[in-house]
Amino acid sequence: MKLLVSAEKGINRIGDALGWFTSILFILLMLNVVYDVAMRYAFNDVSIGMQEMEWHLFSMVFLLGVPYAIRTNGHVRVDIIYERLTVRAQAVIDVLGGVFFLLPFCLLVAWFGIDYAKESYALGETSGDPGGLPYRWIIKSVISLSFFFMAITGLGMILNAINRMMNPMHPQLGKDTESLDAQGGLS
């Protein structure tokens, strides 16, 4: 039991780190947009590279933010049914959904995304626009990386569900686990 709780805590740290990193990327995205708008309207200067950087940063915020959403239980679910179930039934649904849907899908996308990025690297793919960003393989590799992290945080969700099945008092993801952790509740 203690091993499962420790593994869940370790995986949660990865999800928290991704949430922090995504926050930094979002700030960079906002600064990029402000710069781009200021240059366009104040100086009548347009940079294709900066415009492309906007969608690169937005893609990274979205792709690397989803593992954090899984970690904090902020993802979309059918709450009408789920919230009315017992803690044990919710945990069973989380385990089955994670094992049969989330993990296989994430691992497949992560695996096949590697070839997508490798092909882009081998071709030396760059932006099709003059003045655009080079090294398109970097943003394409984020796809595989993000789905790998989704699988890891999905494993943390599954461990949380198993811990809730074994101990109904174990906190659900996103339900004040941070304060319990600080009090030693997840130690």
| pTM (predicted TM-score) | 0.86
User: What confidence score (pLDDT) does residue 178 get?
Assistant: 53
- Please determine, for residue 185, whether its predicted confidence score (pLDDT) is greater than 70: no
Give the mean pLDDT of 90-97: 94
Is pLDDT of 76 > 50? yes
CA distance 143 to 145: 5
Contacts (Cβ under 8 Å, ≥6 apart) of 68? 15, 16, 18, 19, 22, 74, 153
Q: How far apart are CA 43 and CA 150, in angstroms?
A: 42
Tell me, what's the pLDDT at 177? Answer: 52
pLDDT digits (tens, 9 = 90+) for 100-137: 999 999 999 999 999 999 999 999 999 989 989 999 99
160-176 tens-digit pLDDT: 999 999 987 888 887 65
Per-residue pLDDT reduced to its tens digit, 32-43:
999 999 999 999
Report whether pLDDT(187) > 50: no
Q: Which two tokens stand for residue 23?
A: 């926050």
Rounded mean pLDDT, 83-102? 93
Among candidate residues 99, 100, 91, 65, the one with its CA nearest the CA of residue 172:
91
What mean pLDDT, rounded, does the chain reach?
Answer: 90
